[in-house]
Chains A and B, each alone.
Chain A
Amino acid sequence: MKKYIGGVFLLLIISLPITAHARLNVFACEPEWSALADEIGGSLVKSTSATHALQDPHYVEARPSLISKVRKADLVVCSGAQLEIGWLPMLLGKANNPSVLPGRDGFLEASTVVVRLDVPDSVDRAQGDMHPQGNPHIQMNPHNIARVARALGERMALLDPENAEAYTTGTEEFLARWNSAIAGWEARARPLAGERVVCHHKSWIYLEDWLQLEEVATLEPVPGIPPTAAHLSALLQELGTDGSGADAIIRSPFQSAKASEWLQEHTGIPAVMLPLTVGGSEGADNLFGLFDDVIDRLLALKQGPGQ
């Protein structure tokens, strides 16, 4: 009996360090969600992102390294709305990890907890690579981040019940900081309301909705088709050469600067690179920095060159 108890005790000692280090393994498809998991869970979470800010999250392959990461994930969190349609189903199919399949607690599709914009009434690929469930680039409205934070916090608490309280507190603390940051951003961004923008791809409609920007054109003739010379010259006709056609030409870090710089040169409308997620620029080193930097860059354009 004594031996038996001793054995159990030994087993407990052996297993203790393992449980103490068993952090919640979060696999995010995009950097904003791994950053959010870190904000909420802190050191309880080990998060990793499948893509980084300099990659187009639609054009990623189911790489071997990603398969092995999904295999060990406790939670997979992705924007969804078919943004990752080319590689996530393949990844989930190869990773042999039933707990993170869609429909299970270990899978969270962020776009299902926000109001999606641009949901088409009908889809036809003649109109480009369309997303039947709406525009998937939901992260560019901080109010959406707040909604996802709540859903993510709840999911983390569900998957790691021992630390449930910590995730709840983590969510509340984050939201308190986040909401006061939103108030600051909205106050600073007020002069931007009504500005007209030309976008490379329709990645910015949630930002436009939030800051009340008006999208007057896109550099892609239809979503997913790279800018063509014919389309750019049509845009030049439309926007004129005196710089009055729009207030800014926006692209994300992974899009070639060629098209937007050509249009800037010919129309006089200033072109700007805006981070589309965490890590997209030097300032966007976390979620707070992301929106700080986006607003800084847009305000700097408004104040004109030399700022």
Chain B
Amino acid sequence: MKIRLQHLSLIGALLFSTQLYAQADESAELAALREEIRLMRNEYEARIADLETRLDAAEERAADEPAQAAGPPPGEAYQPPVVASAGTVSVARDNAFNPAIGVTFQGQAWSYQNDPDDYVIPGFPLGGEAGPAPEGLSLAETEISMSANVDDKFTAMLTVPIAIEDGEVAVELEEAWVETLAMPGGLSLRMGRFYSDIGYLNDRHFHAWDFADQPLVYQAFLGGQYLDDGLQLRWLAPADFYLEFTGEVFRGDNYPAGGAANSGMGSATLGAKTGGDIGFSNSWLLGFSWLRADADGRESGSEDDPLLFTGDTDLFIADFVWKWAPNGNSRQKNFKFQAEYLWRNEKGDYSVPGGTEGPWNYDQSGWYAQAIYQPFPRWRIGARYDHLSADTPDSVWQGTPLYPMGHDPKRYSVMVDWSNSEFSRLRFQYNHDQATGMTDNQFGLQYIFSIGAHGAHTF
């Protein structure tokens, strides 16, 4: 038993000692491990610090690029990104100087009771591009526009409409002008081909109008819109309110001028405009303009067998626009009232197909007023009234297109349009047209889409 006990104690001692040994062995190993971990940690910390500095540097470099985004990790104080000073230069591609290009697509569908080819307003033989759109489906002008600054002193604009005329594709030159940027004293000079600044609608492109056709006064007195080759000088007075004066000289090739009379300086205009705001919600614009045109064999009426006029045209226009939007926030809700009055005197000689000819000196006038209301975003409704009146000429002219009917031509229109975005618009329009002497109910559908360069929000 004793031995057994001794054995046991020996075994116990042995066991104990091995355990001890193992413990000693383990603690050495642990220390080694700890040391290793410490070294590793140091190494990683150094690596992390290195990575952090490299990241900072990368962020700084990235900030030098025009733009980038790197938000801070959640829960930390905001670290504003570093940015280079303004005017960072990037490598320009060859096309970096391409002008701003835009294309406007326009299409329409019209239904008439009377044949639009026979559209004649008695007393007002139409010139230029005036007249109703074709019946049924058709494309209106597809317009390509380009604009850019030429250099530090000039800017240029080109508008090329592509139209289908009598089944043929026709590329026209609508606007091609260069304008000064750096003239002193509030002056600017435009040269080239452009829409005259007279009236309110005349220098606005068709697709920016609120109805799918032109007011009767524009058809009767301006051939749709007065466009010609010439020069325009504009002076903006340094007043506390808007006051602008414009003077133009044109070649005089287009209606209401014609034949580039007066050695190719056939027409001239003068205009003054003023306007302002009333509180935050209302703004207005008032303009007066005068056009003097020499006509030399100017054509109007039927294209195949036109009336010819040689003489002087004096046209006066007064235009007024008033816009309202609650707090000036037109995006939600807005209202626009627009009216123009045109008066003209033509003095000269008319020659009418069929042989009638003789001296002519008569006054004509007309006006339109329209109101457009946007009750909520995207939808607009509008109404327009057109009116023309004319002196009754000598009985010699009875039976010719120059002789007005017994009562004044007039037209009532309503429209509703929907714009998904600034770049798209669909429109329905109804006209009750009493201009020709035969009442016509006209229904029109129109689309206007634009791609490319952002259109301007003109007043």
Contacts and interface: CB of A to CB of B under 8 A. Distances in A.
Q: Give the secondary structure class of A's interface.
A: loop
A94 B234 CA distance: 9
Contact of A94 (B77, B236, B323, B421): B236
A90 B78 contact: no
Contacts of A112: 86-87
Contacts of B181: 98, 101
A143 B275 contact: no
Interface string B226-261: 000000001110111111100000000000000000
Interface string B396-407: 000000000000
Interface of A: 51-52, 54-56, 59-65, 67-68, 71-72, 82, 85-87, 89-90, 93-98, 101, 103, 109, 112-119, 125, 128-129, 133-134, 141, 143, 147, 151, 186, 193-194, 209-212, 224-226, 254, 256
Contact of B182 (A55, A98, A118, A256): A98
Nearest to B333: A256
Interface of B: 63, 66-69, 71-72, 74-75, 77-78, 80-81, 83, 85-87, 152, 155, 179, 181-184, 186-188, 234-236, 238-244, 273-277, 280, 283-285, 323, 327-332, 377-378, 420-423, 451, 454-459
Q: Give the secondary structure class of B's interface.
A: loop
Nearest to A146: B80
Contacts of A55: 327-329
Nearest to A56: B331
A90 B68 contact: no
Contacts of A89: 456
A213 B377 CA distance: 29
Contacts of A133: 66-67
Nearest to B274: A64
B421 A224 contact: yes
Nearest to B234: A96
A227 to B, nearest CB: 9
Contacts of B377: 226, 256
B332 A256 contact: yes
Contact of B78 (A52, A128, A147, A186): A186
B371 to A, nearest CB: 17
Contacts of B75: 193-194, 212
B178 to A, nearest CB: 13
A225 B421 contact: yes
Nearest to A256: B332
